């Protein structure tokens, strides 16, 4: 239990330094199901509003985004893009056909769970399973994100000729371990960025009481500058097939090498 509280401190502090203008938001306190209280920086709220805009990451849709939220979101994406370009130039983006299934050993339900009230897919796996970057991405958040999300890692993928819209890849319901990717670094597709939380962990947001899973979201910039969810089941299904194919291939390969 000790790791959870102290595990939060680093990521929350780092979250306050990711360049967002907090605008009308102020810091708040969140009371967790186990009675502990977390102080959430204003920047985390602002980032969460920017990320969700027309609705929450979970549950029913909220109010439409305000002009402030859309404008702040566009400004923030430009900063993230500038940060990427300053550090990594014209580094190629991961094509969708090369996205990595984000949970090592995880499984995808046979039918999509993407609905107007759940613009995401839930990928199930035992607690502690590795969560990996689906694509090469700039880490822009790592730590507590919201009461429904709990702990999350968010990566930014800038626009590219083959994928002209900026994206945020959102990995939700991670455990509270500080062993997460760090804000400001670019991680390659397939890099471990966190771990699946136990379903009874107080920091997993609305995954509390459900089988342990990753709530995986892609938020993509629209022509009007708003971010909106995009369906991800097909992409994940293909990524999972590739992962299984590679695992089968490497198992066969190692078998051949034995005397």
Residues forming contacts to Zn ion in the complex (CB under 5 A) are 120, 122, 215
- Which tokens sit at 15? 């979250």
Quick check: 181 and 153 in contact, CB under 8 A? yes
Q: Which is nearer to Zn ion, 70 or 214 (CB)?
A: 214
- Rounded distance, CA 155 to CA 140, Å? 6
What whole-number distance in Å separates Cα of residue 249 and Cα of residue 259? 18
Q: In the bound complex, what is the minimum distance in angstroms from residue 253's beta carbon to Zn ion?
A: 36
List Cα–Cα distances, 129 to 19, 53, 55, 84, 195, in angstroms.
Answer: 31, 30, 29, 29, 5
Kindly state the smallest distance separating residue 210's Cβ from Zn ion, in Å.
9
Identity of the residue, 43 or 122, whose beta carbon is nearer to Zn ion in the bound complex: 122
Tell me how far, at minimum, the Cβ of 122 lies from Zn ion, in Å.
Answer: 4
User: Quick check: helix, strand or coil at residue 185?
Assistant: coil
CB of 187 to Zn ion, least distance (A): 23
CB of 68 or CB of 124, closer to Zn ion: 124
Q: Shortest approach of Zn ion to residue 2 CB, angstroms? A: 28
- Report how far residue 98's alpha carbon sits from residue 119's, in angstroms, rounded to the nearest whole number: 22
Residue nearest to Zn ion (CB): 215
Task: Indicate the residue among 122 and 201 with the shorter CB distance to Zn ion.
Answer: 122
Is the Cβ of residue 57 or residue 83 nearer to Zn ion in the bound state?
A: 57
Shortest separation between residue 103's beta carbon and Zn ion, angstroms: 13
Q: What is the Cα–Cα distance from 233 to 237, expressed in whole angstroms?
A: 6
Nearest to 48 by CA among 35, 38, 58: 58
How many Å apart are CA 188 and CA 168, to the nearest integer? Answer: 15
Q: How far is the CB of 240 from Zn ion (least distance, A)?
A: 17
Task: Tell me how crowded residue 118 is: count the other CB atoms within 10 A of its CB.
Answer: 19
Structure tokens at 65: 């985004």
Residue from 140, 146, 148, 216 nearest 180 by CA: 140
Nearer residue to Zn ion within complex by CB, 210 or 242: 210
Residue 26 CB-density burial (10 A; 0-12 exposed, 13-18 middle, 19+ buried): exposed
Cβ proximity to Zn ion: between 122 and 221 the closer is: 122
């Amino acid at each position: 239990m000790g790791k959870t509280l102290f595990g939060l401190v680093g990521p929350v502090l780092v979250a306050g330094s990711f360049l967002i203008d907090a605008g009308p938001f102020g810091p708040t306190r969140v009371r967790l199901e186990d009675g502990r209280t977390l102080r959430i920086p204003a920047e985390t709220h602002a980032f969460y509003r920017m990320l969700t805009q027309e609705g929450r990451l979970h549950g029913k849709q909220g109010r439409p985004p305000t002009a402030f939220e859309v404008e702040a979101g566009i400004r923030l994406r430009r900063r993230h893009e500038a940060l990427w370009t300053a550090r990594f130039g014209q580094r190629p983006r991961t094509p969708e056909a090369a996205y990595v299934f984000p949970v090592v050993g995880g499984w995808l339900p046979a039918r999509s769970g993407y609905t107007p009230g759940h613009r995401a897919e839930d990928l199930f796996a035992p607690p502690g399973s590795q969560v990996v970057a689906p694509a090469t991405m700039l880490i822009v958040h790592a730590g507590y994100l919201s009461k429904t999300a709990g702990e999350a890692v968010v990566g930014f993928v800038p626009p590219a000729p083959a994928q002209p819209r900026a994206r945020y890849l959102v990995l939700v319901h991670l455990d509270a371990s500080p062993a997460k990717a760090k804000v400001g670094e670019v991680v390659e597709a397939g890099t471990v960025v966190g771990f699946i939380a136990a379903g009874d962990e107080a920091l997993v947001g609305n995954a509390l009481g459900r089988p342990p899973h990753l709530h995986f979201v892609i938020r993509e910039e629209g022509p009007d500058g708003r971010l909106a969810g995009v369906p991800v089941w097909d992409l994940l299904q293909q990524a999972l097939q590739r992962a299984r194919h590679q695992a089968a291939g490497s198992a066969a390969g190692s078998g051949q090498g034995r005397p």
